[in-house]
Amino acid sequence: MQDNTVRIFDTTLRDGEQSPGASLTSDEKLEIARALAKLGVDVIEAGFPAASPDDLAAVKKIAMEIGNPAPGQSQNVPIICGLARASQKDIDAAWEAVQYAQKPRIHTFLATSPIHMQYKLKMEPEEVLTKVGEMVTYARSLCQDVEFSPEDAGRSEPEFLYKVLDVAIQAGATTLNIPDTVGYTTPQEFGALIAGIKQNVPNIDNVIISVHCHDDLGLATANTLAGIQAGARQAEVTMNGIGERAGNTSSEEIVMALHTRRQVFNLETNIDTTLITRTSRLVSNLTGVPVQPNKAIVGANAFAHEAGIHQDGLLKHQSTYEIMRPEMVGETQSRLVLGKHSGRHAFKKNMESLGYELTEDEMEQAFERFKNLADRKKNITETDLEAMISDQISQPVEIFKLEGLQVSCGTMGMPTATVRLRDIQGNEYINAALGTGPVDASFTAINQVVKVENTLLEYNVSAITEGIDAIGHVSVRLSADNETTMQRQLPQNNQIRQRTFGGHGVDTDIIVASTKAYLAALNKILATSGKYDQELKQLKKKQGKETYEAVVA
Ligand code: KIV
Ligand code: ZN
């Protein structure tokens, strides 16, 4: 299938979510999936349903809500894909989750490199061939759209790879994805691998060739582009390049390279590039994985021209130092939009133009937060609004709510914090604690009430916009100790990892932002533990937020 469209297969919610600390709640995954659909991705790999009932439920929810047009509308929806190892149990779980989408896909994989077959799978090449045929046939008996990946293709022997791909095509695979699982290849090698596949695999032109590169040597984007030039028409990517170890190929880099260098590639994507920056910020805010300032396309400095000589050139003609206009990727960082006197109507209009679809209740809650912020910050920019709303999205369930905080600190006494919390059953708790500093004292005061054993793995503070009255953004990452329900399995090597939970908070006071972030992460642990299932169900019902799944059941 040689056309001039490169399909964007977004795996932020699967491979991206495997990056350390990027663990998301199902509401956050849904919000990201909604943003990816708006961005125009062709396929959303929504997760690995066999990992746990929670993962399965999250993929199912995305299949139902994002994989179908809104009631009464007929908009194009993305394919919703679930990952499965080459086993009936995994494939059944993937199908159970994605079948509700208008366009479901099962993605199954098995390793084909000598090193993986010998040490990980402990299988002979002949056994691998048989298994691929059986499992692709089985997946195809359930779903019309089946993708197969020979894991570690980058280190596989090309002749064996051709045989495996031939078997997969005969068994009914519709997309063949070629992963450079450990980011080992160079662009020349990877391009040659794809060209070899095109030349040597029978009936290869009846399927889509896909590429999936990891960034261990910083070559993921270059390798993906080399694969595309050699004939691949699907690129597997993540927003901001998040993913295992050094990450995956960045979506924004591939899309903008194809777009900006159209004369070189002569290829299109279905992406609305003006939504790139907004989607990148949402992913960063909800995963808690910051974007490095010098990151191409979406880094804070990507369009900043500090050096006088550059500014002079830019003033004479933009294209002297700029190959893309910031507006092309929706970069509107410093656009002032609202102030203290802005009313509900202006606020609602701004939220809508930013692409947020909020219920009346959510809008009211957001407006209250905005008023609060506007009391302390003179001018509110789009970036402030985005941070504020993603803070609201990431704290939909406040099992413990912060109602008050008072701290005393400095050089004249012991840092002390007093917190007032209210739990979901309405009980009020007031507690004071000492600490090594105001943040430590606040976290200790909370811990003594909430009583969730955890380890603080990461703590970051940053200013969202410029100026002395800038909002502080704090993100934390915690692991829940002593809870086996908090473990998750990685699809590639069955490794069990302790789940980590991110939380973030924004406020003009960074101690308040820190406390909100910490409590948000603890609330996620409590919500995932199942201890508050009953209360959470009741709360969602009260808020009219019953899931689509519950409504159709
Ligand atoms: O990197 C990889 O090989 C993968 C496969 C599961 C496609 O993520
Ligand atoms: Zn991968």
Q: Report the CATH number that the domain containing residue 101 is assigned in CATH.
A: 3.20.20.70
> Do 354 and 328 lie in a common domain?
no
CA of 14 to the centre of ligand 1 (A): 10
Q: Is residue 364 a part of any domain in this protein? A: yes
Shortest-distance ligand to the CA of residue 153: 1
| 412 confidence band (pLDDT: 50, 70, 90) | confident
What percentage of the chain has pLDDT greater than the value 70?
91
CA–CA separation, 176 and 159 (whole Å) = 16
- The CA–CA distances, whole Å, from 198 to 1, 9, 228 equal 11, 20, 12
Asked if 255 and 273 touch (Cβ cutoff 8 Å), the reply is yes
Mean pLDDT for the chain overall: 89
148 — pLDDT class (breaks 50, 70, 90): very high
Mean pLDDT of 390-418: 86
* Mean pLDDT value of segment 328-332: 85
Q: What is the pLDDT of residue 519?
A: 94
Burial degree of 92 (CB within 10 A; 0-12, 13-18, 19+): middle
Average pLDDT over residues 500-516: 88
Residue 465: is its pLDDT beyond 70? Answer: no
Query: Does residue 15's CB lie within 6 angstroms of at least one atom of ligand 1?
Result: yes
Q: Are residues 36 and 135 in the same domain?
A: yes
Q: Which two tokens stand for residue 533?
A: 């299932």
Confidence of residue 486 (pLDDT cuts 50, 70, 90): low
Same-domain pairing of 197 and 76 = yes
Q: In terms of Cα–Cα distance, which of 67, 122, 125 is closest to 99?
A: 67
Is 323 a domain residue? Answer: yes
C-beta 147 within 6 A of ligand 1: no
Does residue 181 have its Cβ closer than 6 Å to ligand 1?
yes
Residue 494 has pLDDT above 90, yes or no: no
For residue 551, being part of any structural domain is answered with: no
pLDDT of 515 > 60? The answer is yes
Instruction: Tell me the pLDDT tens digit for each residue of 7-61.
Output: 999 999 999 998 866 778 888 899 999 999 999 999 999 999 999 898 999 999 9
Q: Which ligand is nearest to the CA of 84?
A: 1
State the pLDDT at residue 97.
98
pLDDT band for position 553 (cuts 50, 70, 90): very low
The pLDDT score that the predictor gives to residue 88 is 98
- Angle between helix 382-393 and helix 26-39 axes, rounded to 10 deg: 140
Q: Which amino acid is at 174?
A: T
Q: Is the CB of 179 under 6 A from ligand 1?
A: yes
pLDDT tens digits for range 152-195 = 999 999 999 999 999 999 999 999 999 999 999 999 999 999 99
Do residue 175 and residue 203 come from a single domain?
Answer: yes
- CA-to-CA distance for 375 and 365, rounded, in angstroms? 16
Question: Of 222, 257, 287, which one is at a domain's C-terminal end?
Answer: 287
CB 58 within 8 A of CB 94: no
CA-proximal residue: ligand 1, atom 2 (nearest): 181
Indicate the pLDDT class of residue 377, thresholds 50, 70 and 90.
confident
Worst-scoring range by mean pLDDT, 186-195, 248-257, 341-350, 399-408? 341-350
From 109, 112, 176, 493, the mutation candidate for ligand 1 (largest count of ligand atoms within 8 A of CB) is: 109
**214, 245, 249, 489: which to mutate for ligand 1, most atoms within 8 A of CB?**
214
In a domain, 388, yes or no: no
Quick one: pLDDT band at residue 375, thresholds 50, 70, 90? Answer: confident
CA of 95 to the centre of ligand 1 (A): 19
Task: Report the residue among 212, 223, 224 best suited for mutation to probe ligand 1: largest number of ligand atoms under 8 A from its CB.
Answer: 212
Atom of ligand 1 nearest to the CA of 14: 8
| pLDDT, tens digit, 9 for 90 and up, residues 107-121 | 999 999 999 999 999
How many angstroms separate the CA atoms of 77 and 98, rounded?
Answer: 13
Q: Indicate whether residue 109 lines ligand 1 (CB < 6 A).
A: yes
* Band (307; pLDDT cuts 50, 70, 90): low
DSSP 3-state assignment of 541? helix
Mark whether 129 and 55 lie in a shared domain.
Answer: yes
Helix, strand or coil, per DSSP, at residue 11: coil
CA 59 from chain centre, in angstroms, equals: 13
Which one-letter amino acid corresponds to residue 108?
A: T
Which tens digit of pLDDT belongs to each residue from 281-303?
Answer: 889 888 888 899 899 999 988 88
Give the tokens for residue 241: 């390049």
Choose from 129-138, 297-306, 542-551 the range with maximum mean pLDDT: 129-138
Nearest to 26 by CA among 527, 537, 532: 527
Q: Is the same domain home to 179 and 129?
A: yes
| Model pLDDT, residue 309 | 62
Predicted local distance difference test score (pLDDT) of residue 331: 81
Tell me: do 246 and 321 sit in the same domain. no
Check whether 547 has a pLDDT greater than 60: no
Residue 517's CATH number: 3.30.160.270
| Least confident range of 322-326, 401-405, 436-440, 539-543 | 539-543
Per-position DSSP letters for 165-212, written without gaps between them: HHHHHHTT-SEEEEEETTS---HHHHHHHHHHHHHHSTTGGGSEEEEE
Give dist(CA 254, CA 249) in Å, integer.
Answer: 8
Residue 483 pLDDT grade (very low, low, confident, very high; cuts 50, 70, 90): low
Among 418, 426, 430, CA closest to 515: 418
The H-or-E segment that residue 35 falls in is helix 26-39
Same domain, 350 and 236: no
Residues 329 and 353 in one domain: no
Through-space distance between the first and last CA atoms of the chain, rounded to whole angstroms: 40
What pLDDT is attached to residue 543? 64
Instruction: Decide whether any atom of ligand 1 lies within 6 Å of the 212 Cβ.
Output: yes
Q: Are 388 and 506 in contact (CB under 8 A)?
A: yes
Which of 358, 380, 402 is the endpoint of a domain? 380
299 assigned to some structural domain: no
339 lies in a domain?
Answer: no
- Mind listing the pLDDT tens digit for each residue in 242-291? 998 999 999 999 999 999 999 999 999 999 999 999 999 889 888 888 89
**How much of the chain, in percent, has pLDDT values that exceed 90?**
60
d(CA 271, CA 390): 22
pLDDT tens-digit readout, 421-460: 999 999 999 999 999 999 999 999 999 999 999 999 889 8
511 assigned to some structural domain:
yes
Do both 21 and 104 map to the same domain? yes
pLDDT at 549: 40
* Residues less than 5 Å from ion ligand 2, measured at CB: 15
How many structural domains are present in the chain?
Answer: 4
19 Cβ below 6 A of ligand 1:
no
Q: How far does Cα 270 stand from its chain's mean position?
A: 19
CA distance 97 to 54: 11
Distance CA 399, CA 451 (A): 13
Domain that residue 189 falls in: 7-287
3-state DSSP call for residue 424? coil
Determine the 3-state secondary structure of 116 from DSSP. Answer: helix
At what angle are helices 251-260 and 276-287 packed, to 10 degrees? Answer: 170
Smallest CA-to-CA distance from 415 within 407, 424, 403 is with 407
The pLDDT of residue 426 is: 93
Q: Is residue 127 part of a domain?
A: yes
For residues 131 and 23, state if they share a domain: yes
Structure letter (DSSP) for residue 248? B
The residue contributing the CA closest to ligand 1 atom 8 is 15
Least confident of 41-45, 353-357, 509-513: 353-357
Q: Would you say the CB of residue 107 lies under 6 angstroms from ligand 1?
A: no
pLDDT band at 551 (very low <50, low <70, confident <90, very high): very low
Residue with the smallest CA separation from ligand 1 atom 1 is: 181
Judge if the beta carbon of residue 151 lies within 6 A of ligand 1. Answer: yes
Cross-strand pairs, 407: 417
Q: Mark whether 309 and 351 lie in a shared domain.
A: no
Distance CA(113)–CA(153), nearest Å, equals: 6
Q: What's the confidence (pLDDT) of residue 22?
A: 73
Quick one: how many helices (H) and strands (E) in the chain?
Answer: 19, 18
CB-based contacts of 372, cutoff 8 Å, min separation 6: none
